[in-house]
Amino acid sequence: MEYNQRKHDLSSRNLITVTATVDGAAEAVGPGMLSPAMGKIPESWDLEADVVIIGSGGAGMPAAVKAADEGASVIVVETNYDIGGHAIISGGNTPLGGGTSAQRKYGIEDSPDLVFRDLTDWSIVQPNGWPDYRYNDRAVMRAFADHCASTYEFLVANGADFKDIPPDNQGGHNLGNSAPRENHAVWTKGAGLESPNNRGGTGLIRPLENSARTKGVKFLLNYKMKSLVRQGQTTGRVIGITAQYTPRIMPGQTAPLKSFRSDGNIDSTKPTMNIRARKAVVIATGGTTSNLNFRRMFDPRLTAMLTVAGEPYSYQDASGELAATAIGASLWGLANQTLENGDNIRTQRVLATKWNYMTWEPEFPLFPLVRATGLALKDWHNLILVNQVGKRFYDETKGDYPHGNVYNDINPYTPNDYRNNEKIDYHPSKYNFFNAAVAMNEHSEPPDYSAGPVWAIFDADAVARNKWNVTPPYVDPDGYFFSANTLPELAAAIKNEYQAKPMKGETLRATVERYNSFVDAGEDSDFGKPKPKYKIQTPPFYAAWATPNVHDTRSGLRINAKCQVMDLNAQAIPGLYCAGESAGGFNQHGLGRCTTQGYIAGKNAAAEKAEG
Ligand SMILES: Cc1cc2nc3c(=O)[nH]c(=O)nc-3n(C[C@H](O)[C@H](O)[C@H](O)COP(=O)(O)OP(=O)(O)OC[C@H]3O[C@@H](n4cnc5c(N)ncnc54)[C@H](O)[C@@H]3O)c2cc1C
């Protein structure tokens, strides 16, 4: 059974429930569970280490390696069957500057001061929203700027495979205007490092895993941190965690999925493990976007129908934030998430599968959940997008996001000049795709008045033009792809858990007829799509899931410059660190902040005095 976020609400009935399902741990691994209160101090511990790191992704892996380098014994607790989180399936574009060896090699001048100035420049605010830098925490920024270059060298020293090309501004969104800082990790098929999805992030994360295992780091896979154990409810040190067994079993299988490497894994199937941290716990759980209730605290637009980039490999289920706030931690920089925009919420380019941020190949171990690779789209002229009512709402060719925050985007750039944003190539209506897609419509109903899905409507000619194969496993006919010989039949066929009511056939037919008239006229008089190219006229007709997607978590636990988690009185909670997307106060996309904070947290956690 697939996980359905609608089942979960904030009622106490749902606190700490973990229900076994057919795909077993998919639900336990997945989103929606709310935190228990503080974990009780157990009578005995099952495991112990100096540093316990929760999560093995972009922040957790560097934290583990760095803590081991500093002489600490380390256990990484990971709810998934394998390491890596979003980082291992990411593009591997890694924004790190400040004077790296790669920058020096290619004659690029940069410094920690320049990184700091760039990332705290309040003037890089795009008109009408997306203030990437404005809400950054100065102390957290300074720590990032000071550790950015050393993190790059550390990653390279631990095997990260970056392309030997000049750092550039490609793939980055928030790197600052003064120097190119984007590095590109590469992964090669058949080179001995298994990748869930054949992407560059594997070339960053698997080598770190190799290094961690070589350095003696232990991995407790298939265990989910459920609570933090602190000496008092909101006082004293954090001395450990409780974790619950969360094996992932695919439909039709009895054995849990296995990790790529097993040496160094702690072998256990015990339902609950109490794990003591003699020095510190590092939360590197990746953020909150997979948790419907949590994400809607910041932005009520983020209703249930939206999927999250990175699911179903791993989930950003807010478990770190919930466990930490239960023992007194503060959240920070919440405006960043409310203003989630641009590169966080996108028009998707893979159709006909729920997991539409990228293509998952059939050999992906979780493919039984994904069910379809999807149809890759290059030209938005091949289709129209309609809402659950069957009406167009947008110029389909729009939806990409403007930049303004990478090297040379603002040119000339004058630091701290309020006119900088006048030079950003900004088109307000591009941003409005998401608002248009999630806007209430005639079928938006209680409980959350969700906008319902967005459907791509196209015909047999579009299939031929794109050379699409519209049979499984390329499409998912179980709720995410439909076909019929007439448009009214197509509308009637659309059945999906987020489609509140059937689409009316007459509405869809009228929408398509009107669009076809725009093709004849050479002008879209409703939404201004430039010169609509193709009529939708040749049966069979198709409807494919094209609902937007949430990408990053941009706010989370309050940390200080050492990555210690802070309480509501701005005091560091002894023995508790946080890094990556679960940490607040740093509005930067991706691997730069996560790896750097992992490095900082690992270093400082290892330097704590061991208790007991
Ligand atoms: C498809 C995709 C492409 C991307 N491409 C890029 C890119 O090219 N460049 C870039 O800069 N950024 C990119 N990103 C973003 C980047 O991957 C993330 O910002 C980064 O991986 C976040 O690191 P993290 O450690 O905070 O979280 P993650 O890497 O997601 O790791 C968190 C880990 O914690 C585990 N976990 C969560 N809760 C618990 C718990 N309670 N107990 C135990 N374990 C738990 C999760 O299973 C996961 O393994 C991409 C993201 C995605 C999804």
Mean pLDDT of 476-505: 97
How far apart CA 131 and CA 367 sit, in angstroms, is 37
Question: How far is the centre of ligand 1, averaged over its atoms, from the C-alpha of 595 (Å)?
Answer: 10
Ligand 1 pocket test, pick from 162, 220, 285, 366 with the greatest ligand atom count within 8 Å of Cβ, gives 285
Mean pLDDT of 88-99: 96
Establish whether the linkage from the previous residue to 473 is cis, with ω within 30° of 0. Answer: yes
Q: How many CA atoms lie within 13 A of 561 on its CB side?
A: 8
Question: How far is the centre of ligand 1, averaged over its atoms, from the C-alpha of 312 (Å)?
Answer: 12
Residue bearing the CA closest to ligand 1, atom 10: 590
In Å, how far are 10, 47, 247 from 267, measured between CA atoms?
34, 12, 12
Band of pLDDT at residue 27, cut at 50, 70 and 90: very low
In Å, how far are 223, 539, 552, 580 from 309, measured between CA atoms?
22, 32, 8, 16
Mean pLDDT of 139-159: 98
Q: Are residues 120 and 565 in contact, defined by beta-carbon separation less than 8 angstroms?
A: no
Ligand 1 pocket test, pick from 173, 257, 405, 591 with the greatest ligand atom count within 8 Å of Cβ, gives 591
Which ligand 1 atom is nearest residue 200's CA? Answer: 8
Residue bearing the CA closest to ligand 1, atom 22: 58
Place of tokens 């015909």: 459
Indicate if the pLDDT at residue 2 is higher than 50.
no
Which ligand 1 atom is nearest residue 60's CA? Answer: 25
Question: How far is the centre of ligand 1, averaged over its atoms, from the C-alpha of 467 (Å)?
Answer: 33
Per-residue HEC secondary structure of 433-446 comes to HHHHHHCCCCCCCC
Q: Are residues 564 and 539 in contact, defined by beta-carbon separation less than 8 angstroms?
A: no
| Residues in CB range of 354: below 8 A, 6 or more apart | 307, 370, 371, 476, 479, 480, 545
- For position 24, what pLDDT does the model report? 32
Band of pLDDT at residue 431, cut at 50, 70 and 90: low
- CB count within 10 Å of CB 413 equals 18
Candidates 540, 553, 438; CA nearest to 498 is 438
Indicate if the pLDDT at residue 33 is higher than 80.
no
- Ligand 1 surroundings by CB, under 6 angstroms: 54-60, 77-80, 85-87, 89-95, 171, 224-225, 284-287, 309-310, 314, 317, 319, 357-358, 552, 580-582, 589-592, 594
113 versus 398: which is more confidently predicted?
Answer: 113
- For position 299, what pLDDT does the model report? 85
Mean pLDDT of 64-86: 98
End-to-end CA distance of the chain: 45
Residue bearing the CA closest to ligand 1, atom 2: 90
For Cα atoms 453, 455, 461, give the angle at the middle one, nearest 5 degrees: 170
Place of tokens 């429930």: 17
Amino acid sitting at position 390: G
Place of tokens 């030209």: 379
Lowest mean pLDDT among 151-160, 351-360, 428-437: 428-437
Please compute Rg for the chain using Cα positions.
24
By three-state DSSP, how is residue 392 classified? strand
Q: Are residues 92 and 204 in contact, defined by beta-carbon separation less than 8 angstroms?
A: yes
Question: How far is the centre of ligand 1, averaged over its atoms, from the C-alpha of 42 (Å)?
Answer: 30
Which ligand 1 atom is nearest residue 357's CA? Answer: 1
DSSP state for residue 168 in the 8-state scheme: B
Band of pLDDT at residue 594, cut at 50, 70 and 90: very high
For Cα atoms 340, 345, 349, give the angle at the middle one, nearest 5 degrees: 165
Kindly report, residue by residue over 182-237, the tens digit of the pLDDT: 999 999 998 899 999 999 999 999 999 999 999 999 999 999 999 999 999 899 99
Per-residue HEC secondary structure of 260-301 comes to CCCCCECCCCCCEEEEEEEEEEEECCCCCCCCHHHHHHHCCC
Residue bearing the CA closest to ligand 1, atom 21: 87
Kindly report, residue by residue over 541-589, the tens digit of the pLDDT: 999 999 988 888 989 999 999 999 999 999 999 999 999 999 999 988 8
Which ligand 1 atom is nearest residue 29's CA? Answer: 47
Question: How far is the centre of ligand 1, averaged over its atoms, from the C-alpha of 590 (Å)?
Answer: 8
Which ligand 1 atom is nearest residue 59's CA? Answer: 25
Establish whether the linkage from the previous residue to 412 is cis, with ω within 30° of 0. Answer: yes
Establish whether the linkage from the previous residue to 539 is cis, with ω within 30° of 0. Answer: no
Pairing between β-strand 272-283 and β-strand 572-578 as defined by DSSP bridges: parallel
- For position 401, what pLDDT does the model report? 59
Question: How far is the centre of ligand 1, averaged over its atoms, from the C-alpha of 581 (Å)?
Answer: 7
Band of pLDDT at residue 338, cut at 50, 70 and 90: low
Q: Are residues 145 and 596 in contact, defined by beta-carbon separation less than 8 angstroms?
A: no
Band of pLDDT at residue 611, cut at 50, 70 and 90: confident
Burial of 44 (0-12, 13-18, 19+ CB in 10 A): exposed
- CB count within 10 Å of CB 252 equals 8
By three-state DSSP, how is residue 595 classified? helix
Pairing between β-strand 272-283 and β-strand 47-54 as defined by DSSP bridges: parallel
Mean pLDDT of 151-168: 97
Indicate if the pLDDT at residue 595 is higher than 80.
yes
In Å, how far are 119, 417, 602 from 66, measured between CA atoms?
25, 39, 5
- Strands (E) across 178-222 are located at 182-184, 218-221
How far apart CA 304 and CA 291 sit, in angstroms, is 10
Share of the chain above pLDDT 90, in %: 73
Q: Are residues 246 and 105 in contact, defined by beta-carbon separation less than 8 angstroms?
A: no
Band of pLDDT at residue 32, cut at 50, 70 and 90: very low
Question: How far is the centre of ligand 1, averaged over its atoms, from the C-alpha of 286 (Å)?
Answer: 5
- For position 3, what pLDDT does the model report? 26
Residue bearing the CA closest to ligand 1, atom 24: 286
CB burial string 451-468: b at 16+ within 10 A, e below? bbbbbbbbbbebbebbeb
Residue bearing the CA closest to ligand 1, atom 27: 286
Which ligand 1 atom is nearest residue 553's CA? Answer: 19
- For position 240, what pLDDT does the model report? 98
